Amino acid sequence: MTVIAHLIDGEPHNGTGASLDVTNPSTGEVIRQVACADAATVERAVAAAKAAYPAWRDTPPAKRAQVMYRFKQLLEDNAERLTYLVSEEHGKTLEDAAGELRRGIENVEYACGVPELLKGEYSHNVGPSIDAWSNFQPLGVVAGITPFNFPAMVPLWMYPMAIACGNTFVLKPSERDPGSALAIAELLQEAGLPKGVINVVHGSREAVDALIDSPDVKALSFVGSTPVAESIYTRGAANGKRVQALGGAKNHAVVLPDADIENAANTLMGAAYGSCGERCMAISVAVCVGDETADQLIASLEPKIAALKIGPGTQKGLDMGPLITAEQREKVLGYIEDGVKSGAKLVADGRGLSVAGHEGGFFVGGCLFDAVTSEMRIYREEIFGPVLCVVRVESLDAAIALINAHEYGNGTCLFTRDGEAARRFADSIEVGMVGINVPLPVPVAYHSFGGWKRSLFGDLHAYGPDAVRFYTRRKAISQRWPSSFETTHAEFHFPSGGQ
């Protein structure tokens, strides 16, 4: 059976750790294995990145950008192969995988502009014969720990900008679907990146711990669950690292009585059930203002949920594939059972779904709960499955208060035709990413992605302008070249501008 190796100093490396199974979630069958890094393997990757750093740091930004241009082209040329890899290992549909890859490529395009993004500031004659300027310099070896749900896109949030800024990188992708992350890193090397600038290690907790504890890793980016994000942030910061750790979410869509209900229902279908709900930006709660609004929305959603085309992700023309693992399916089924026991009304029940020819796959159909309250576990916690909860409130103010009281603040949206209500919602809501009639308000590559509250630990968001700041540090320089006719004398007061 094929074993997915680590990529260290430009070469495949099997390491000294054990191997883990990689399963096709559409069939439940093991399709390959992945090498599992121990601490020694991780340190070997970090050492390779450290050795490659001085020469890469001194490479002009324009030449770094040229590598990114070639990388972008290779990603586009290999899109069909990469899309299939994502779908085969994750289970998401081919169309969804293609969309994920396109969003990742957008971040490579943004990194191509790094010569402009790294321009500092300059001031002439801030004092007698004194000029001052600042520039942005790389940190050194940086690392990324990425989740299973976007195996191609999330790594591309991180290392293109980190590398374009002059850092070297160690990536630890999810061990559940590592194939596309490795294939994409190999394309970056094919684009002309020197050996050791990008390294990939696979594995689980031991590999993560080694990255957190390595003194040569200067910064960590993480995307995953909130408990792990908080732990990595706390431990990484205690080790003196710069850390951005993106955690969980419980994203609400507010539907006002004046909204186009059919349009809201259509867009909520994709936002709630796309990728089988395994998205940190998935809409998992519809907050309906008024019983009539809720009744209309549910009446529109029910037949659409029943008509979902569900099957193996690698089959074209589907709406939804399986969940990533058998364990994740059991977790989601447990949440559904808990919702029923707590008194929520299960309007659409996706349990017991079997796909002909793929009976061993990890499938759950679309589920819809009504009469959900804020005390219920299915409301409070992130389910990460194809489950949409309807909560009924009496006013927009009540909807805003409900969302603001939740521990997560990742994404939200409002469906309305009322501009005043939309403006008030956008201003008042304590959430990092807001959509107005846009159910998945994921920022484009030249903005930055990140939530508030317990959805993000750290000061800077992912990709976009914040990525430049995260992967660099500012250096301020003051320089004096006095004229030959100038005389100097000792000054004992603290210097100020213009003196």
Catalytic residue set: 280
Any residues with CB less than 8 A from the CB of 369 and at least 6 apart, and which?
339, 344, 345, 346, 347, 378, 387, 388, 389, 390
Residue type, 452: W
Q: Which two tokens stand for residue 452?
A: 């508030």
**Nearest 5 degrees, angle CA 326-CA 332-CA 338?**
135
CA–CA dist 75, 96 (Å, integer): 16
Check if the beta carbon of residue 64 is closer than 8 Å to that of residue 231: no
Check if the beta carbon of residue 122 is closer than 8 Å to that of residue 248: no
Check if the beta carbon of residue 27 is closer than 8 Å to that of residue 358: yes
Nearest alpha-carbon partner for 433 in 290, 226, 280:
280
Q: Which two tokens stand for residue 457?
A: 């630990």
Residue 115 dihedral angles phi and psi, to the nearest 5°: -60, -35
Nearest alpha-carbon partner for 415 in 274, 292, 293:
293
Any residues with CB less than 8 A from the CB of 325 and at least 6 apart, and which?
23, 25, 176, 362
Tell me how crowded residue 121 is: count the other CB atoms within 10 A of its CB: 10
Nearest alpha-carbon partner for 95 in 106, 86, 104:
86
CA–CA dist 250, 408 (Å, integer): 6
Please give the biggest Cα pair distance in the chain. Answer: 91
